[in-house]
Chain A
Amino acid sequence: MRVKRILQEKEAAMQAPVDLTLIDPLIEKYKGKKGNMIPILQGTQNVFGYLPAESFMKISELTGLKLSEMYGVATFYTQFRLNPVGKHIVKVCHGTACHVQNATAISEAVEDALGIKDGETTEDRLFTLESVACLGCCSLAPVMMIGDETYAKLTGNQAVKIVKEIKIKEKN
């Protein structure tokens, strides 16, 4: 799962140039502080939605953090993304409780509806599909989270309906 997230050349070409000055205040805040690597990366991802390759270079230059170590950390933790993501991140919970309540059916239904696989982003950049370990709403299983909204006790059809409704709203 982790290895899959390493940047593919083709996808790297798809990345639009980013405004790196946006992370200046962040670097200023954490520069020279011990244990700063994860907060800097988390902050950068908050700004861009992912970790652009150029941001690594800039952070390394200004803080002295090693590129190899940053890449190591960024690929170790599931939170970090090296690719741009869609506007809506569809998180389908695959915790134990959701698994026994057939979360796989939710994932498969959404995969079919959006025409993407787990971890991928739709061409229109509207949706990214992610399966996650546990959202902590186990007694409402199976659940799915889009943005801050959690959808509970789903079936495959209901999940597809929710995704389609968002799509229609976006198109209008």
Chain B
Amino acid sequence: MKKTKVLVGLASCGIAAGAYKVYDKLKALQEADKLDIEIKKTGCIGMCYREPLVEVIDETGSYLYGEIDEEKAVEIFDKHLKQAEPVSDYVVKSDFVESKDDSFWDGQVKIASRNCGVIDPENIEEYEEQDGYKAIRKILEGKISDEQVIQTVLDSGIRGRGGGGFPTGLKWRFANKSKSDAKYIICNADEGDPGAFMDRSLLEGDPHAVIEGLIIGAYAIGAGDGVIYCRAEYPLAIKRLNIAIDQAREKGFLGKDIMGFKGFNFDLYVKEGAGAFVCGEETALMASIEGERGMPRKRPPFPAEAGLWGKPSNINNVETFANIPYIFLNGPESYSKYGTEKSKGTKVFALTGKINHGGSVEVPMGVSIRDIIFKLGGGISDGKKFKAVQLGGPSGGCIPEYLADTIVDYDSVNATGAIMGSGGMVVMDETTCMVDMARFFLDFTCKESCGKCTFCRVGTKRMLEILERITQGEGKEGDIESLEELAYQIKDNSLCGLGQTAPNPVLTTIKYFRHEYEAHIVDKKCPAKNCKKLITYTVNPDTCTGCTVCAKNCPTDAIDGARKEVHTIRQDACIQCGMCYSKCKFDAILLS
């Protein structure tokens, strides 16, 4: 009989939700009872909205428990682990118990994240049990040539998962063709895009898959050294990568004469980023590895000819590398059978915002955005109305509700004015102000602009000033046109992707939500009731109990009224701080 296995999801979100307490509790209980079971750590299971997650795999099958605290852990231990009676109330996924969360898994296909939440990421043997490092072994033992490796990647149809969507095989071929004494392969793990965490979950959940992908890439292009450029804000990912690299080196998957094959030498290290969004851009990232300010360089020469330290280099994203071993293990057609004509395979999305089931999902290309949000995502939280979804972060755009049937593939998403990006999907409801969203992203890109190109450096600042005015009720006629003019100039006159895409959030919101801009500028109203300066606060006489809490908290003494009598707000003294609204226990403050 197989030993019962207990897996506790210990990626960053799980830990933030208190998964370590649950893990420690289960461990302590096991110790006290001397129960013969295995309790293990694992990475991101994906169901972030139900963290902390505990999976029990007994002889009958698997039971995934959600929102487990120490108390519930005791219950699961006593009932399920000791008496083999599953606690169905807490089950969020199982073959034996129906759960209202089942729709979260419908249509998911796990390729890049195949081992996340399955194996202990700090244990190389568990990765090997899942056919880990067999793809590179197959290539080396089968004496498959570098050209054949590249052809296989081309056949799979995989395109760069960092957002650009450039065919990975083609990129490898360029780097392969460059002649040089030294070449580099780099993994871009500088996931600076706010609202995206796919790469973090992959690195925390299955670092070896990324490393194996890098080894295969190094073999294909002939690189001797590799770098994983990971942002310093991901301490757990860095820790697990370093553990994984040490283990791989010890087992002979990295270093000299890899796996006993004479002359195949490759080693890699983790380079911690220092916090600059622009370093997600290839040439800026390389400048940063060289110890300089992360400023993009002019292309050509392309990194495939002269990249890191002036040598031919190839950069791919975390998710791209994580897919590579799978493609070699199962053949390119096992990957290309998913997806659409021009976008093959699957894509991991980080589903967040005003949505019921926030988490990390992997779906085949070609699924509609509506299906992702309403089936997997469980719809909009608090029963609100779906308004738009933001794709691609600060470089992307907002797709409105009426275009939600757009399918996810590079070309269809681009046609809306947004971009696929790295996979951040932030859902917005009727209470999100689109002008404020545009201001938020511009504020981000303005701060993150490296300052090299004038249009990006000054232009984003000017756009931000206009947007700030509009959201504060000081918009003027002609502001929308000025924004558009600046946007096109910045796009046309910036060297790198940051500048070329920075205006996208503004352009897409103007395109789809022009009426909201006009409401702010002309009527001085914020339809989403989000921009504080444009809101009028009044007291609802029917629900006001005269408790005086609002009056006591008002910083400008703008609220009159005696105890147990209906209060009133003097508009001339009100500064729209919203204090009364947040303090009122009876929902008696109205916004308009």
A and B associate in one complex? yes
Q: Are B195 and A143 in contact (CB under 8 A)?
A: no
Q: Which secondary structure characterizes the binding site on chain B?
A: mixed
Query: What interface size band does chain A fall in?
Result: 35 or more
- Kindly specify which of A6-14, A34-42, A119-127 makes contact with the partner chain: A34-42
Q: Are B426 and A100 in contact (CB under 8 A)?
A: yes
State A73–B275 Cα separation when bound (angstroms).
11
Which of chain A's residues have a CB closer than 8 A to the CB of B455? none
| Chain B proximity mask over A95-109: 1 for CB below 8 Å, otherwise 0 | 111011100010000
Tell me, yes or no, whether A133 is within 8 Å of chain B by CB.
yes
Q: Which of A77, A94, A100 has the most CB of B within 10 A?
A: A100
Q: Are A140 and B16 in contact (CB under 8 A)?
A: yes
- Partner of A139 from the list B49, B232, B294, B393 (CB cut-off 8 Å) is B49
State A15–B275 Cα separation when bound (angstroms).
25
Which of chain A's residues have a CB closer than 8 A to the CB of B28? none
**Given contacts A76-B450, A78-B275, A96-B426, A136 and B197 within 8 Å (CB-CB):** yes
| Chain B proximity mask over A149-160: 1 for CB below 8 Å, otherwise 0 | 011100010000
| Chain A proximity mask over B343-367: 1 for CB below 8 Å, otherwise 0 | 0000000111110001100000000
Q: Are A133 and B194 in contact (CB under 8 A)?
A: yes
Residues from 213 to 238 in B contacting A, C-beta threshold 8 Å:
232-235
Residues from 112 to 138 in B contacting A, C-beta threshold 8 Å:
none
Residues from 416 to 433 in B contacting A, C-beta threshold 8 Å:
424, 426, 428, 432
Q: Are A150 and B359 in contact (CB under 8 A)?
A: no
Tell me, yes or no, whether A79 is within 8 Å of chain B by CB.
yes
Which of chain A's residues have a CB closer than 8 A to the CB of B447? 1-2
Which of chain B's residues have a CB closer than 8 A to the CB of A38? 274, 288, 291
| Chain B proximity mask over A66-85: 1 for CB below 8 Å, otherwise 0 | 00010011001111100000
Tell me, yes or no, whether A137 is within 8 Å of chain B by CB.
yes
**Given contacts A2-B447, A134-B194, A140 and B275 within 8 Å (CB-CB):** no
Q: Which residue of B lies closest to A78 (CB)?
A: B275
**Given contacts A42-B274, A136-B200, A96 and B353 within 8 Å (CB-CB):** yes
Q: Are A37 and B292 in contact (CB under 8 A)?
A: yes
Which of chain B's residues have a CB closer than 8 A to the CB of A97? 194-195, 352-353, 358, 426
Tell me, yes or no, whether B390 is within 8 Å of chain A by CB.
yes
Which of chain A's residues have a CB closer than 8 A to the CB of B200? 136
Residues from 1 to 40 in A contacting B, C-beta threshold 8 Å:
1-2, 34-39
Tell me, yes or no, whether A163 is within 8 Å of chain B by CB.
no
Q: Are B293 and A134 in contact (CB under 8 A)?
A: no
Tell me, rounded to whole Å, the shortest Cβ–Cβ distance linking A141 to chain B. Answer: 7
**Given contacts A133-B192, A134-B194, A100 and B354 within 8 Å (CB-CB):** yes
Tell me, rounded to whole Å, the shortest Cβ–Cβ distance linking B24 to chain A. Answer: 15
Complex A-B: 6 CB contacts under 8 Å: A34-B309, A35-B289, A100-B354, A134-B195, A137-B48, A141-B352
- Chain A residues with CB under 8 Å of chain B are 1-2, 34-39, 41-42, 69, 72-73, 76-80, 94-97, 99-101, 105, 132-141, 143, 148, 150-152, 156
